[in-house]
Amino acid sequence: MATGSRTFRNLIGGEWLDAAGGETFESVSPATGERIGTFPKSTAEDVDRAVAAARDAYASWRLVPAPRRGEILFRFGSLVREAKEELAQLMTREMGKVLPEAGGDVQEAIDMSFYMAGEGRRLFGQTTPSELPDKFNMSVRMPIGVVGVITPWNFPIAIPSWKIVPALVCGNTVVFKPANDTPLLGQRFVELLAEAGVPPGVVNVVHGFGREVGDRIVRHPEVPVVTLTGSRETGVAVLRAAADNLKHVHLELGGKNAIIVMDDADLDLAVDGILWSAFGTSGQRCTAASRVIVHERVYDELQSRLVAAAERMRIGPGWEPDTDVGPVINRSALEKIHSYTEIGRDEGARLLTGGEIATGDGLERGFYYRPTIFGDVEPTMRIAQEEIFGPTTALIRVRDADEAIRVANGIRYGLSSSIFTRDVNLAFRAMRDLEAGITYVNAGTIGAEVHLPFGGTKDTGNGHREAGQAALDVFTEWKSIYVDYSGRLQRAQIDTAGEVR
C-alpha cells in the first residue's frame, strides 16, 4: 500500500476524525528516513471523545452473546491472515524488523485472535456445592467497561492483539493509543477490526504522544482498566496516576534476561540461541538476552564462536532477504545504545565486537547499530543490570550452577530466563529456582506461545499476565451467584454445625 503521501485520522465512534487541535506528526522509516504518513497529534479532548464513544458502545456490546463476539474475532483473525504479507512488509518499513520476524509478529496476532475467539464459547466460571440444602452456587466472569490500551512500537501488531482481542471477547470496549513510532500499523489493526464487524465505538484509536494522549487515558475517570507495555519508569508513573480512581492496571515492563550456558551444553545450539535472543529484532525485545552467563570451562570456546557468528551477521533494511539485523527504532534509541557501549568500556568490560553505529552502503540514512558483545563483565556492572534495548549482550563467567543461578537472579527484573544443559536434574533446578515468569531449557529467551501466560516477576510488572487463560483475569471481574430454591429464608454464616436437614 502507498503510504508516504497519505494523511490518517483517529477512529472515534465509527468516524474518522482529525485531532481537535488540528496538529499532526509524521511516522518515518527507521531504515531509510522516508515518510510513512501523517497522523493526528491528539490531545485530552480527543481522548474524552473516544472514551465517551466507548462508554456508549459498552452498553450494547457487553450484551452481545460471547460466542457472537468470538465469531467477529474469528473473522478478524482470518482478515489478518489474508493481510499477513501486506502487514509484514509495512512493519519492515515503519518499525524496521527483518521480514521473517515481521511475519512472526503478525502470526502472533492471528494465533491470539483464533485462541481468544474460542474463549467466546468458554469464559469458564465455577460451580461449587453449597453448604445449605436446595441452593446452587456459581461464579461467572463479567466485563468491566472501557479499557485503555497503550502499546509499544516493538511488536506493533502482536501486542495490540494480546490486549485488545481478549478485552473484546470479554465484553469490554477499547480506547487504543498505538506507539507514535508505529501509528500506521495500529491504524491497520483497527481498520481490520472494523472490517471484521466490530461495531462503531467498540474500538477507538487515538494517535499521539504519551504526555497528552496516554496520560489522559490513564487519568480518565471513566476508563476503569488500563493495560500498558512499556518501561519500568512509565509503569510506575501510570500506577501513580491511576491510583486516585483505583483503576485496574496491568503492566508489562522491562527485562534483563539471561541465558545460562553450562559446561555440558551443546555449544552450537547455545550460540544459535544466543544470536537469536540477543540480536533478533536488533535486541529490541523485553525478552532479549542481554546477559550470557557461562561456565568457566566453556567460556573461552563459547566466546570465540559467538563473536565469529555475530560478525557474520548482515546489517541492512529488513525487506532485503539476506538481512539479519535491521535498524533500531529511532535516533534517540541509537544514541542510548551507543551510550551503554561507552558505559561498558568505562566500567572495564572488554568490547569483543561491534560497539559502533553502522554506516556505509546507505546505512547512514537509517538507525543501525552493529551487534555488540562485551566480555569479562562483572554481574554488578551497569551493562549487566540495566535494560539497554539494543543489539548488545554481556558475557559473564561463573564457576558452577549455584553461582549461575545466583547471578541470573541478581537483577531487579524477572521476565525471561534460559539454561542450556544436558543435565536433567539441573534443568529442573533451574525451572524451580530462576526468578522469572518464563524459563526455557535448551532454547533462547524469546519465543513465547499465545496459549501460555506471558509476563514476569519483580520489576517486570505488577503480577498480571498476558496471553492464555490468565489474560482473562485482566479484563473481567468475578461475580459470585447464589440461587436458593428452598422456598424459605436460609441464613448463611449462622452456626448450624451438626445439624442435618
**Which pLDDT tens digit goes with each residue over 249-279?**
999 999 999 999 999 999 999 999 999 999 9
Segment 285-302 shows an average pLDDT of: 98
In the chain, what percentage of residues exceed pLDDT 90? 97
Cell numbers given for 286: 523485553
Instruction: Provide DSSP, 457-499.
Output: EETTBSS--BSTGGGHHHHEEEEEEEEE-SSS---TTS--TT-
Domain CATH for 466: 3.40.605.10
Q: What is the 3-state secondary structure (H, E, C) of 285-299?
A: CCCCEEEEEEECCCH
221 with 329, same domain: the answer is no
Both 162 and 286 in one domain: the answer is no
Shortest CA distance to 329 belongs to which of 91, 163, 150?
91
Q: Tell me whether residue 286 is one of the annotated catalytic residues.
A: yes
Instruction: Please check whether residues 314 and 425 belong to one and the same domain.
Output: yes
Q: Look at residue 5 and tell me if it is in a domain.
A: no
User: Residue 496's pLDDT is what?
Assistant: 59
pLDDT digits (tens, 9 = 90+) for 117-159: 999 999 999 999 999 999 999 999 999 999 999 999 999 999 9
In angstroms, the CA 261 to CA 256 distance is: 16
Residue 491's pLDDT is what? 87
414, pLDDT greater than 50: yes
In 158-247, which ranges are E strands? 173-177, 203-205, 225-229
Sign of CA dihedral 54, 55, 56, 62: positive
Contact partners, residue 406, CB within 8 Å, separation at least 6: none
Percent of the chain with pLDDT over 70: 97
Q: Is the pLDDT of residue 43 over 50?
A: yes
Residue 223 near residue 146 (C-beta atoms within 8 A): yes
What cell numbers appear for 322 in the block?
539476506
Where is pLDDT greater, at 415 or 501?
A: 415
Q: Is the pLDDT of residue 499 over 60?
A: no
Cα gap 172→123, rounded to integer Å: 14
What local confidence, expressed as pLDDT, does residue 174 receive?
Answer: 98
Residue 197 lies in a domain: yes
Asked if 366 and 317 count as a contact pair (C-beta separation under 8 A), the reply is yes
Q: Is 344's pLDDT higher than 70? A: yes
Residue 393 domain-assigned? yes
| Residue 176 and residue 264 in one domain | no
Asked if residue 212 and residue 88 are part of one domain, the reply reads yes
Span 213-233, pLDDT tens digits: 999 999 999 999 999 999 999
- How far CA 79 is from CA of 157, 165, 192, 270, in Å, comes to 13, 14, 7, 37
pLDDT tier, 1 (very low <50, low <70, confident <90, very high otherwise): very low
Between the CA of residue 100 and those of 24, 116, 280, 321, 359, what are the distances in Å?
Answer: 32, 24, 11, 9, 24
Mean pLDDT confidence for 77-105: 98
Q: Which domain holds residue 428?
A: 257-441
pTM for the complete prediction? Answer: 0.96
- The long-range contacts involving 244-247, CB below 8 angstroms and separated by at least 24 positions, are 245/219, 245/221, 247/218, 247/223
Q: Tell whether 427 and 359 lie within a shared domain.
A: yes
Beta strand ranges found along 222-314 (DSSP E): 225-229, 248-252, 257-261, 289-295
The helix or strand, by DSSP H or E, that contains position 126, with its residue range, turns out to be strand 126-128
Are 176 and 316 part of one and the same domain?
no
Residue 204 lies inside a defined structural domain of this protein: yes
Residue 401 domain-assigned? Answer: yes
User: Do both 348 and 368 map to the same domain?
Assistant: yes
* pLDDT tens, residue by residue, 358-386: 999 999 999 999 999 999 999 999 999 99
Question: Grid coordinates in use for 278?
Answer: 540477543
- Does the annotation count 252 as an active-site position? yes
- Reported as a single tens digit per residue, the pLDDT across 155-181 is 999 999 999 999 999 999 999 999 999
Is 207 found in the same domain as 263? no
Q: Is residue 36 part of a domain?
A: yes
Residues 206/177, Cβ–Cβ less than 8 Å? yes
Q: How many alpha carbons lie under 13 Å from residue 319 in its C-beta half-sphere? A: 15
CA angle 307, 311, 316 (to 5 degrees): 145
Q: Are residues 298 and 219 in the same domain?
A: no
Is 2 part of any domain? no
Query: Cα dist. 408→55, 232, 423 in Å?
Result: 45, 19, 18
Same domain, 291 and 249: no
pLDDT at 2: 45
Task: Please check whether residues 249 and 350 belong to one and the same domain.
Answer: no
pLDDT band at 492 (very low <50, low <70, confident <90, very high): confident
Q: Does residue 107 register a pLDDT over 80? A: yes
Q: Are the C-beta atoms of residues 349 and 376 closer than 8 Å to each other?
A: yes
Considering the chain, what is the average pLDDT of its residues?
Answer: 96
The grid coordinates of residue 350 equal 572488554
Q: Which of 94, 101, 212, 252 is catalytic?
A: 252
**Which among 101, 108, 119, 286 is annotated as catalytic?**
286
Q: What is the CATH number of the domain that holds 329?
A: 3.40.309.10
393 contacts: CB under 8 Å, gap ≥ 6: 274, 278, 279, 283, 289, 290, 291, 292, 372, 373, 374
pLDDT at res. 495: 57
Is residue 393 a contact partner of residue 274, using CB atoms and an 8 Å limit? yes
Is position 493 within any domain?
A: no
Least confident range from 191-195, 266-270, 435-439, 495-499: namely 495-499
Nearest to 230 by CA among 146, 294, 286, 157: 286
d(CA 466, CA 348) in angstroms, rounded, equals 39
**What is the total count of domains within the chain?**
2
Average pLDDT of span 181-198: 98
State the DSSP code for 454. B
